[in-house]
């Protein structure tokens, strides 16, 4: 087995560029159960941007807005709407990650840099990914603050230690992140992850696997050496009408992160709370559940409860999974979330694709975009 030239410990954080970070933080706190663990803004001496670090389980999201209209983050939010701008991966050596990826073809944006405060040294570097999305390599082995220099801790994270005074609703970790790219670009980005970052292809779905009468997509799933990072990459396929991928590209004005899948150990409890918090989900026809056990076999969860909540089930040779998808969380039909609970299965729910596509197309029709 070849040496992993770009070892990755896991996802460090995801940064959204948004129009109003304070309001976005409120939404993710009251809707999704995240706690604000750190903050950067005018009160901390940051005159350019405001950032709220939101945490739950091992998930960390940063919501950042610009203080003025000419800032690049303001331009990004104006063009794309609120969306994922930075995918940050924790690595043992951010300088090595930058050197190894750029010498293999990645486009560098920020060469290795160190920032220091009383809590230590925070190291990072940045390369470009699809569209205007960035990949950030973070090394926090010598940093022990709440998040990074320029941030102050909140909710028990004041000095970088302690546990958040907030239980959340059971979201535990990022399972995978899906990117949408334009027609014909999927293989180029598959090659990027394979050649520049040492990822391997885990799965491949084509328009025979994922299609309806009207639309289709193609997808390849890339994962890093230890399997902790999984990036499915979608592109639209030719269809009679506009696919969900093309709808995203039209409204995001280019390629970007389509959805973030968050794992949970109790999807019934988590989704029940999300729905009580006002989060809207896609729903498949109730007939989906009539033959569920015939299709996936015996499962631990009561089918009537899954039907009530709209949770889907799929099985492969390694086990089964449960999943559900929110509707877009922005005004534009762009970013959404998946909630997933795995029982052995390492798949992505291929048995649910047809039902999901039909549900998504119903939503597209309501928006006048099918």
Please report, for the domain that includes residue 61, its CATH number.
Answer: 3.10.180.10
DSSP E strands: which ranges in the chain? 10-17, 35-40, 49-56, 59-66, 83-90, 108-117, 120-128, 134-139, 152-153, 171-180, 200-205, 216-223, 230-237, 256-264, 312-316, 319-325, 336-343
**How many structural domains are present in the chain?**
2
Q: Are residues 195 and 307 in the same domain?
A: yes
Please provide the distance, in angstroms rounded to a whole number, between the alpha carbons at the two ends of the chain: 46
User: How far apart, in Å, are the Cα atoms of 159 and each of 143, 178, 182?
Assistant: 11, 34, 44
Alpha helix segments (H runs only) across 85-215: 94-102, 186-197
> Which domain, by its residues, includes 281?
171-367
User: Which among 250, 241, 259 has a CA at the least distance from the CA of 365?
Assistant: 241
CA distance 76 to 72: 6
Question: Looking at residue 1, what is its pLDDT?
Answer: 45
Specify whether 186 is located in the same domain as 325.
Answer: yes
- For the chain, where are the alpha helices, taking DSSP H only? 21-30, 72-80, 94-102, 186-197, 244-252, 267-276, 292-296, 303-309, 353-367
pLDDT tens for the chain, 370 residues: list them: 467 899 999 999 999 999 999 999 999 999 999 999 999 999 999 999 999 999 999 999 999 999 999 999 999 999 999 999 999 999 999 999 999 999 999 999 999 999 999 999 999 999 999 999 999 999 999 999 999 999 999 977 665 555 666 679 999 999 999 999 999 999 999 999 999 999 998 867 665 555 566 556 788 899 998 888 999 999 987 765 678 888 999 999 999 999 999 999 999 999 999 999 999 999 988 888 888 888 889 999 999 999 999 999 999 899 999 999 999 999 999 999 999 999 998 887 776 666 666 667 777 777 887 6
Q: Do 135 and 257 share a domain, yes or no?
A: no
Helical ranges in 198-341 per DSSP H: 244-252, 267-276, 292-296, 303-309
164 in a domain, yes or no?
no
Q: Are 46 and 107 found together in one domain?
A: yes
> Per this entry, what is the length of the chain?
370
Please report the pLDDT score of residue 354 as a whole number.
67
């Amino acid at each position: 087995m070849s040496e992993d030239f770009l070892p990755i410990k896991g996802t460090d954080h995801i940064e959204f560029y948004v129009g109003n970070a304070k309001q976005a933080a409120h939404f993710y706190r009251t809707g999704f159960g995240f706690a604000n663990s750190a903050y950067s803004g005018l009160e901390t001496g940051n005159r350019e941007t405001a950032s709220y670090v939101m945490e739950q389980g091992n998930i960390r999201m940063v919501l950042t807005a610009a203080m003025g209209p000419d800032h690049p983050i303001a331009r990004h939010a104006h063009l794309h709407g609120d969306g994922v701008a930075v995918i940050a991966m924790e690595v043992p050596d951010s300088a090595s990650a930058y050197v190894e990826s750029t010498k293999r073809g990645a486009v560098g944006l920020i060469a290795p840099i160190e920032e220091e405060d009383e809590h230590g040294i925070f190291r990072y570097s940045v390369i470009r990914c699809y569209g205007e999305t960035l990949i950030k390599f973070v090394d926090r082995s010598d940093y022990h603050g709440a998040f990074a220099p320029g941030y102050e801790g909140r909710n028990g994270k004041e000095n970088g230690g302690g546990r958040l005074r907030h239980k959340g609703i059971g979201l535990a970790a990022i399972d995978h992140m899906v990117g949408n790219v334009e027609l014909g670009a999927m293989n180029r980005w598959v090659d990027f992850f394979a050649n520049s970052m040492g990822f391997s292809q885990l799965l491949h779905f084509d328009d025979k696997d994922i299609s309806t009468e009207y639309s289709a997509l193609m997808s390849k799933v890339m994962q890093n050496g230890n399997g902790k990072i999984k990036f499915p990459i979608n592109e639209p396929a030719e269809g009679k009408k506009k696919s969900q991928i093309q709808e995203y590209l039209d409204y995001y004005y280019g390629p970007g992160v389509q959805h973030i899948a968050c794992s949970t150990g109790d999807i019934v409890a988590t989704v029940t709370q999300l729905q009580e918090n006002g989060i809207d989900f896609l729903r498949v026809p109730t007939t989906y559940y009539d033959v569920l056990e015939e299709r996936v076999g015996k499962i631990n969860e009561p089918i009537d409860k899954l039907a009530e909540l709209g949770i889907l089930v799929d099985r492969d040779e390694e086990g089964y999974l449960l999943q559900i998808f929110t509707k877009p969380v922005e005004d534009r039909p762009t970013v959404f979330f998946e909630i997933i609970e795995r029982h052995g299965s390492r798949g992505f729910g291929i048995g649910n694709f047809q039902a999901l596509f039909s549900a998504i197309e119903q939503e597209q029709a309501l928006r006048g975009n099918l």
